[in-house]
Amino acid sequence: MAKVHNWQLGREMDYPYEGRRPEKQFAMIFDTNKCIACQTCTVACKTTWTTGRGQEYMYWNNVETKPYGYYPLGWDVTILDRLGVQEMDGPVYRGKTLFDAAPTGEIILGYLPEDIDYAHPNIGEDDSTGLMPQGAHLTLPHLQWMFYLPRICNHCTYPACLSACPRQSIYKRPEDGIVLLDQSRCRGYRECVRGCPYKKVYFNAQTRVSEKCIGCYPAVEGGRQTQCTITCIGKIRIQGFLNAPDKVDEDNPLDYLVHVKKIAQPLYPQFGLEPNTYYIPPIHVPAVYLRQMFGWGAERATDMYRQVAMDRKLLGALTLLGATPEIAHYFRVDGDSVIGYDAKESEIARVPLTEPVVIRELYDPKYRAFRTNIT
């Protein structure tokens, strides 16, 4: 295998192909503290891309309730169990990646879910963990917790699906890093489904070939964000392009949140795929759980999120989430607003850092009525 540098692990690792980063990398950031699992993103993706025969069970975008929600069933706990306990003290990961842990004769440690594992996309929804003894009362932090985890294909820098495909049907576009699957080459061996630890490649039993998220590339090529991003009513997402760690641009909102402030963390970085979707971890969840899911920077990220009101530039970058359907390549804070710019540095969004509030009189003399909501 070739040696490639995985900056999320802080070290080199083995990968079947030579490392070659794209000109720019498709990436997305989710603020899990704002997600309410309304599934608007899921419906938007489903009605746009997977309405055909054999696609009924496909959710290129889904939202799970953690810790008990999974789609397919047990996708993360199964591969974590097979990988075993690893050292995760950071900033250099010393444990095994899924490529390091591959059985003899195989490229990556993986597994193929059973058909029944796809039968319950909403399993565990809104189930919380923790004990609620008799006589308990409201305390902070809460005795019980859960949070929502939206997921799409991670368009990884070192994709497991690409490495596992014996037909070389899967490729990573050099112009934007989006990972696509050439169905004319696919023979339906499902090695991509077995290899992807996030289980974001699906086999179509009607066409007998695999399918996956395409990163809404027709929209992205036109300078617009993905369908799941622009339809998010909670404004928890921003999609754009991420530079390599040695080419960080502080005026790029994604670079700023991922590389500079490090408030957005990758999902299961220990797998070794360098995923390109990032999460601002939930602040109410125990740190030990967040560390195994988002890596060793999760606790620092939640501490920073609690203080975001004190950092105007960070607040500005976060305020851009959901502010425009176009891709923001640059941003700056100007007075009490944050401004987003497209690739040609034309203004595409201007948002106040503080949401305007109007307080009305409790009693309305015109209608001789008391208002129950005055803000």
Please name the residue that has the structure tokens 């203004």.
Answer: 347
| Element holding 191 (H helix, E strand) | helix 191-195
The residue with greater pLDDT, 375 or 197, is: 197
pLDDT recorded at residue 244 = 92
Residue 183 has pLDDT above 80, yes or no: yes
Q: Which two tokens stand for residue 135?
A: 């006589």
pLDDT recorded at residue 131 = 81
User: Rounded to an integer, what is the distance from CA 368 to the centroid of its chain?
Assistant: 50
CA dist 279 → 61, 133, 242, 346 (Å): 15, 32, 14, 28
Q: Give the global pTM.
A: 0.94
Rounded Cα–Cα distance for residues 260 and 254 (Å): 9
Q: Which amino acid is at 56?
A: E
pLDDT recorded at residue 12 = 97
Residue 249: helix, strand or coil by DSSP?
Answer: coil
Mean pLDDT of 16-20: 92
Residues 321, 256 contacting (CB under 8 angstroms): no
Residue 141 has pLDDT above 90, yes or no: no
pLDDT recorded at residue 143 = 81
pLDDT recorded at residue 138 = 82
Rounded Cα–Cα distance for residues 258 and 274 (Å): 13
Residues 163, 108 contacting (CB under 8 angstroms): yes
Residue 266: helix, strand or coil by DSSP?
Answer: strand
Question: With bands split at pLDDT 50, 70 and 90, how would you rate the model's confidence at 296?
Answer: very high
Question: With bands split at pLDDT 50, 70 and 90, how would you rate the model's confidence at 22?
Answer: very high
Question: With bands split at pLDDT 50, 70 and 90, how would you rate the model's confidence at 235?
Answer: very high
Residue 15 has pLDDT above 90, yes or no: yes
Distance, first Cα to last Cα, the chain = 61
> Can you say whether the dihedral through the CA atoms of 314, 231, 65, 213 is positive or negative?
negative
Q: From the CB of residue 77, how many other CB atoms can be counted at a distance below 10 Å?
A: 12
Nearest to 169 by CA among 177, 159, 125: 159
- Mean pLDDT computed over every residue of the chain: 96
Question: With bands split at pLDDT 50, 70 and 90, how would you rate the model's confidence at 261?
Answer: very high
Residue 83: helix, strand or coil by DSSP?
Answer: helix
Q: From the CB of residue 337, how many other CB atoms can be counted at a distance below 10 Å?
A: 15
pLDDT recorded at residue 1 = 84
User: Which 8-state DSSP code applies to residue 103?
Assistant: P
Question: With bands split at pLDDT 50, 70 and 90, how would you rate the model's confidence at 193?
Answer: very high
Tens of pLDDT along 78-109?
999 999 999 888 889 999 999 999 999 999 99
